[in-house]
Structure 1
């Protein structure tokens, strides 16, 4: 998964999923899995990254690929994606308005959805709270 915007026009943005085809010392060849450019080859260069902490007296620069191996992603990262299989892990109730909807609506069909909900003392339960702020709907008419 890409961790920063490289070329937005070509669909290489933060959250884009890729299948790595070749690894070179300074370049990753990958096939884009999602978005309008799905199926196209992308070339991800090693980039120089400098911390934004101005309290340092020495300039530190690191060269790395702007990617991470993605076996799991947050609800926010998954927004806008459609997936064949989704597993949702909820060790506690979803904390924000609409996040439960986003989490379960990423999957194409009901059979591809698995939800794991923990209650107190790490026991499995069959329900969770869906946090909804009714104030959001007050002035809709």
Structure 2
């Protein structure tokens, strides 16, 4: 776990979202330290008042339970030292784009600090 070069050359592939969650939980259990959980916003945007879609259909429970490819889960669990991968382009000029591998350094209330590996 201390040799970050190890993570530059490897990845774990799983065919289903259920198996990915199971493997993520297992890998986090191997890393010593305190687990920190981050949660997504769980309310619908009310900016489209004239929309034909009724925002009351989108309850917090419904939004929190959405699990599909391309949309991050409602809950993100991390530990310091955990290898991660960006799923969105943040700053391409700073190499913070989809697929960038990182190691988590800091877990603050609203910020996740990480070091770029690739």
Give the structure with the higher percent helix: 2
Q: Report the TM-score, using the length of structure 1 for normalisation.
A: 0.24
Q: Report the TM-score, using the length of structure 2 for normalisation.
A: 0.28
Considering only CA atoms, is the larger Rg found in Structure 1 or Structure 2? Answer: 1
